[in-house]
Amino acid sequence: MSKSITIAGAGLVGSLLGIMLAKRGYMVQIFERRADMRTESMLAGRSINLAMSDRGLMALEMAGLAEDIRKIAIPMRNRIMHDEHGGISKQPYGVDDQAINSVSRGDLNMMLMTMAEANGVTIHFNARCQSIDVDSATAVFGEEPNNLQTAQSDILIGADGAYSAVRDALLRTDRFDYSQSYLDHGYKELHIPPTPDGGFQLDKNALHIWPRHSFMMIALPNLDGSFTVTLFLAHKGPVSFEHLTTENAVTEFFATHFADAVPLMPTLLQDFFSNPESSLVTVKCSPWTRNSNIVLIGDAAHALVPFYGQGMNCGFEDCRVLIDCLDYTNDNWERALQLYEHHRKPDGDAIADLAVQNFIEMRDKVADKDFLRRKRIEGFMFKRYPTKFVPQYTLVTFMPNVPYSEAKRIAKEQDVLMARLMNNPIVYNEWESDAGIKIIDDEMETRKELVYLPISPSVY
Ligand SMILES: Cc1cc2nc3c(=O)[nH]c(=O)nc-3n(C[C@H](O)[C@H](O)[C@H](O)COP(=O)(O)OP(=O)(O)OC[C@H]3O[C@@H](n4cnc5c(N)ncnc54)[C@H](O)[C@@H]3O)c2cc1C
């Protein structure tokens, strides 16, 4: 059994994987490019949050951390849409009490690093990965010319994010496939502060969306009563960041498109001009493993655009699947990495595609009459046939034992059925009437129960 493991990157995924591997008895050291965020004042700024859903939580449960993390999460049970006229409408994310959870990225990362250290992991900070010898899986970390450290271990794991240095080294090897594609849209983070007494200015148990067809804004709650707001907008074009260069232009843009949010954002102009305009990238690559001793995980293997709220969840699920592959093979890394790649790569590709699709859904369709009707009919069908029809969002967000690739396949098949049903005026107008139910029942009677491929070699 290999004993020593080097992980590049103490982000969310690297820290969680460090904990899981240390708990299995491995000697783990992590090299992180940045300074230690727990001691540096780098988080003094405003918090940035992420939506954590069942896939992420299930991985945290495997590591024994879910309880602690739930304490710093705010459940969001609905998406609340804000229209141009200030009207709002609510869509539950799931059934009963199902929710996605808003978590501060910084708090979560700090907690995971502390837990990693408590489990015996050594984290080296200010240790950027400078070079890698892929044949011996040896990596050099630190700042040149001094403070360089060479890490030679049995396994090297690249958890160093979307612009991974470990992946860059693999890119120079034979037959390594790589694709990177940027959206025309970028994003900028803005801020809604708490009320003077520390309360929330908007419903705190919801993810707020201002869909405006070619662009949108969202807001997720933070524990201190504030919301982190993200504006997604084209970099260039008629309505785009390139025109928002003056205070007047920004004021007019927000007054026109997000009038109800403006009074909630007293520092809008300051935030707009001090926060960067960032880009959104999808990265796919293959293979994720080399020679049984180098492996990519998290964003290093598959960077997603954030519109399904699955990047971190997917990275955490990678950790769960990798550990399951180790379980299944009695820690035979050669075999475990083959299984990991076999099970995981199609899922990384699938969620990358679904995330781009969901961008269109969030900005364009959540305010569309037909789309909303279809969602209601889908909800009705899910209740009536829970083993035969499951909406895509539910498959992706609330069913961690269904691989993303299965979710994508099933959803595509269900799309055909829904298009047929939506074309029938009886179903379209009165799906809950006797006649509507009969048509749906007739369709569903011939459909088989959904059977899912296992997400990893052993079934949970
Ligand atoms: C705007 C936005 C919103 C998002 N919202 C969500 C959401 O709601 N839900 C969700 O699940 N996901 C979301 N994501 C995706 C999520 O942020 C990522 O998927 C997640 O952070 C990936 O974790 P990671 O550890 O793989 O990479 P990272 O978090 O990027 O961590 C990589 C770590 O490696 C370090 N590093 C980088 N290069 C080197 C090097 N050369 N040497 C050493 N260390 C290095 C970095 O400093 C960092 O600490 C969002 C992403 C964006 C951009």
Rounded mean pLDDT, 269-287: 97
Instruction: Report which of residues 281 and 454 the model is more confident about.
Output: 281
In a domain, 236, yes or no: yes
Pairing of strands 149-152, 138-141: antiparallel
Distance CA 317, CA 298 (A): 9
Dihedral angle, C-alpha 119, 122, 123, 127, nearest 10 °: -160
**Does residue 308 sit in the same domain as residue 428?**
no
Which of 421, 448, 419, 413 lies closest to 437 in space, CA to CA? 421
Q: What is the pLDDT of residues 19-39, one digit of tens each?
A: 999 999 999 999 999 999 999
Same domain, 414 and 273: no
171 and 189: one domain? no
Position 1 scores a pLDDT of 54
What CATH number has the domain bearing residue 29?
A: 3.50.50.60
Q: Phi-psi bin for 162: left (phi > 0), alpha (psi -120 to 50), beta? A: alpha
Binding pocket residue ranges, ligand 1, CB within 6 Å: 8-14, 31-34, 50-51, 128-129, 159-161, 165, 187, 230, 298-300, 306, 309-313, 315
- Name the average pLDDT for the chain: 94
In a domain, 261, yes or no: yes
Query: 348 falls in which pLDDT band (50, 70, 90)?
Result: very high
- pLDDT in the model for residue 44: 45
- Quickly tell me which residue has 């997603």 as its tokens: 304
What backbone phi and psi angles, to 5 degrees, belong to 350? -65, -45
Residue nearest to atom 41 of ligand 1 (CA): 129
Same domain (yes/no): 436, 304: no
Span 188-217, mean pLDDT? 96
Distance 11 CA to ligand 1 centre (A): 6
Q: Please, which pLDDT band fits residue 459 given cuts at 50, 70 and 90?
A: low
Dist CA 152 CA 138 (whole Å): 5
What are the residues whose beta carbons fall under 8 Å from the beta carbon of 436, sequence distance 6 or more? Answer: 426, 427, 429, 430
Do both 227 and 310 map to the same domain? no
**Do 189 and 230 contact (CB within 8 A), yes or no?**
yes
Distance CA 12, CA 50 (A): 11
Indicate whether 205 belongs to any domain.
yes
Domain boundary among 310, 338, 360: 360
Assess whether 396 and 440 both reside in one domain: yes
Q: What is the per-residue pLDDT for 430? A: 93
pLDDT value at position 460?
A: 45
> Which protein residue has the closest C-alpha to ligand 1 atom 29?
11
SS (H, E, C) 109-169: HHHHHHHHHHCCCEEECCCCEEEEECCCCEEEECCCCCCCEEEECCEEEECCCCCCHHHHH
User: 77: which DSSP letter?
Assistant: -
Q: Is the pLDDT of residue 361 over 90?
A: no
Q: 459 in a domain, yes or no?
A: no
Atom 30 (ligand 1) nearest CA = 161
Is residue 97 very low, low, confident or very high in pLDDT (cuts 50, 70, 90)?
A: confident
**Separation of CA 315 and ligand 1 centre (Å):** 9
| Rounded mean pLDDT, 159-164 | 98
Last residue of a domain, one of 309, 333, 360: 360
The whole-number average pLDDT for the span 424-433 is: 94
Q: Do 12 and 53 fall into the same domain?
A: yes
pLDDT number for residue 369: 83
Domain count, the chain: 3
Residue 189 included in any domain: yes
Range of the domain at 417: 368-445
Q: Are 22 and 157 part of one and the same domain? A: yes
User: Based on the domain organization, do 332 and 392 belong to the same domain?
Assistant: no
Q: Are residues 328 and 392 in the same domain?
A: no
Largest CA distance in the chain: 77
Q: Are residues 250 and 201 in the same domain?
A: yes
Q: Looking at 319, 340, 360, which one is the last position of a domain?
A: 360
Mean pLDDT of all residues in 30-52: 83
The verdict on 322 and 408 lying in the same domain is no
| pLDDT score of 423 more than 50 | yes
Tell me: pLDDT of 146 over 80.
Answer: no
22, part of any domain? yes
Q: Is residue 380 part of a domain?
A: yes
Asked, for residue 378, whether it belongs to a domain, the answer is yes
Percent of the chain surpassing pLDDT 70: 97
pTM, to two decimals: 0.96
Q: Is the pLDDT of residue 40 over 80?
A: no
Q: Measured in angstroms, how far is the CA atom of residue 165 from the centroid of ligand 1?
A: 14
